Amino acid sequence: MTRIGLIRHGSTRWNQEGRVQGHTDNPLDEEGFRQAGVLAERLSGEAWDYIYSSDLLRARQTAETIAGRLGIPLAGLLPDIREMNGGLIEGTTESERIERFGSQWKTMDLKLESQELARERGVRAIEELAARHPGSNVLVVSHGAILRSTLAGLVPSLDVSVLLKNTSITCLVNENDSWSCELYNSAEHMDG
């Protein structure tokens, strides 16, 4: 059995402002570092063998914080789990999108990465990790939209309509080449 813990990165200033981040390489804000530390404390009571991260700074900083607390090295950066490309809406808030493109902006071709392409690259990355580390417990720090697309590809019956919270963890198990989800969007560590 291989266990994959999918983590959404900690908070950034753009998260607080409601801006689409996409490929923009934003750092964590003070709250994001705090969130990563609280999650690391939660995970310290569990056995994790490896931690990987998206190549974007906010995910990498989250992963480095967790890796330092758990005493495991950052095993690698995975470009295939970077956030979905936000196209022409990257860096904008909802009100700015409506002002710029109109209230029907979601129906327009604004050069966003498709769900299908994101799902394919995310699923490929997670399946490659599972094949590389069979029988291991692997953490992966990534981003909300790409994680939800990936989860929909790996566990099609899973309801991924609820947005992932910053530093939430979702745990997948792979047994006999079949994926199941044992925990979705868990952020109880942030309640205290």
Residues annotated as catalytic (active site), given as ranges: 9, 83
Q: What percentage of the chain's residues is helix, strand, coil (to nearest 5)?
A: 45, 20, 40
The answer to whether the beta carbons of residues 62 and 37 sit under 8 Å apart is no
Q: How far is CA 84 from CA 45, 177, 181, in A?
A: 32, 26, 22
CA distance 178 to 159: 17
Q: What is the C-alpha radius of gyration for the chain, rounded to an integer number of angstroms? A: 16
The answer to whether the beta carbons of residues 147 and 6 sit under 8 Å apart is yes
- Report CA torsion sign: 54, 41, 6, 173: positive
